[in-house]
Amino acid sequence: MEGKLSEASRRAVPSPIQQLSHLAQSVGAVNLAEGFPDFPAPAHVKAAAAAAIASDLNQYRHVQGICDVLSETMKREHGLYVDPLTDFAICCGQSEAFAAAVFAIIDPGDEVLLFDPAYETYHTCIELARGIPVYVPLDPPSWTLNGDKFLKSFTSRTKAVILNSPHNPTGKVFSKEELLIISEACQEKDCFAITDEVYEYITYDENKHTSLASLPGMQERTIITSSLSKTYSVTGWRVGWACAAANIAAAIRNIHVKLTDSAPAPFQEAADYAVKRDFILQLLTDYGFHISFRPQGSVFVFAELPRSWQISDIDFVTNLIQNAGVAAVPGRGFFHTDSDDQSYNHRYVRFAFCKSDETLEAAARKMRMLAVPHRF
């Protein structure tokens, strides 16, 4: 019956990232690949969830439990006035909120602009909606937005722009100037913006997150997606949300109900990363990596392999797993556009530092014991 599977399922094949994750698991490698914490969630957060379970909040939750808190947060953090009764869809994590948002606005043939490199789930959601992903490359080493390239990517079929800031995999926080370029284009072209803001509270140095929806003229056309997962170290709880104008939020809720019905009821009731970032930056620098961009946000370092090593991202990660027992992610899975330098997309490796001190120190010991990388 394999031949009767859908075209969409045949396109959704395991990525090199997934394949190397399986290899990492098989050898028990220290996991610096995936962006989930391996340390305990805050005690008060776990206690609130336990109390909700004990109070028998264990059934479908169509009256959305955290909307009042989210509404207050939107006002306090971003100056956005949203109605907790009409402007939210509580979903099973940001991933479902994003998918439901795409399904709510994208028709077959609609084009969606994304900034490259990009988290791979976006592409799949757009294709499942039969939209067309169009990638706009960010310029290394600081991953800056080239306004001319961006504006030239719009066509009469452009329906939406996807913005992930703080950014996975690079750790970039989009500047106010870049956000203004995006907002002005969205308004001029009369298109939606869908934002992924799951790392909004994880920023470093003087960098601060600004929601695109807070810019003049953008709240009515922006769908904010986020979750509890990264902020509270509870990636397994699967509580996320979409926040949008009432008519858009209603469409997203209707799709969400058909997909998963409701997010986990008790979890709707219910860390400082800067030192960890600096630790792994020093580790990678000592190891020989070229660190041209310090992460401004998120929980990832997107490090460039020195050209003298003569090794690709996949070969490096494979050898790192097999010879050092440390897992990372080859960068090529995040790139979707070609560059003038044909090897460019194969020169980056992503490391996650949202790990316990013990895990980071174990990774450091293993990597320091390994032979010089270019001898692989």
| 58-78: pLDDT as tens digits | 445 555 557 887 888 889 889
Q: Please write the tens of the pLDDT for every residue from 1-54.
A: 877 888 777 777 776 667 777 888 888 888 787 766 665 565 655 555 555 555
125 and 104, same structural domain? Answer: yes
Q: Is residue 182 part of a domain?
A: yes
**Within-domain flag for 111:** yes
47 domain residue, yes or no: no
Give the end of a domain, one of 250, 267, 284.
267
Q: Are residues 168 and 234 in the same domain?
A: yes
| Confidence grade of residue 112 (pLDDT, cut at 50, 70, 90) | very high
Task: Please state the rounded mean pLDDT for residues 211-221.
Answer: 96
State whether 227 and 92 are in the same domain: yes
What is the reported pLDDT for 11? 76
From 113, 71, 299, 326, select the one nearest 199 (Cα to Cα): 299
Q: What is the CATH number of the domain that holds 252?
A: 3.40.640.10
pTM value is 0.82
Residue 177 belongs to some domain of the structure = yes
Q: Residue 204's pLDDT is what?
A: 87
- Give the per-residue pLDDT at 58: 47
Residue 56: pLDDT band (50, 70, 90) is: very low
pLDDT at 102 over 90: yes
Alpha-carbon span 19 to 318, nearest angstrom = 10
Query: For the residues of 68-120, what is the DSSP string, one character each?
Result: HHHHHHHHHHH-----TTTSEEEESHHHHHHHHHHHHH--TT-EEEEEES--T
Average pLDDT, the chain: 83
Considering the domain architecture, whether residues 70 and 175 belong to the same structural domain is answered as yes
Do both 196 and 242 map to the same domain?
A: yes
Query: What was the pLDDT predicted at 239?
Result: 76
Predicted pLDDT at 158 = 98
Q: Are strands 300-304 and 348-352 parallel, antiparallel or unpaired?
A: antiparallel
The parent domain of residue 19 ranges over 2-38+274-371
> Residue 48 domain-assigned?
no
Give me the pLDDT at residue 27, please: 83
Q: Give the pLDDT score at 61.
A: 58
Per-residue pLDDT reduced to its tens digit, 167-192? 999 999 999 999 999 999 999 999 99
Q: And the tokens for 41?
A: 């969630």
Note whether residue 127 is domain-resident: yes
Among residues 267, 289, 321, which one ends one of the domains? 267
**13 in a structural domain:** yes
User: Per the domain annotation, does 197 fall within a domain?
Assistant: yes
Among 208, 238, 267, the domain-final residue is 267
Strands 240-243 and 88-91: antiparallel
| pLDDT tens figures, 119-146 | 888 999 999 999 999 999 999 999 999 9
- Based on the structure, what is the number of domains in the chain? 2
Instruction: Say which CATH number the domain at 342 has.
Output: 3.90.1150.10
Same domain, 349 and 256: no
Pairing of strands 192-196, 222-227: parallel
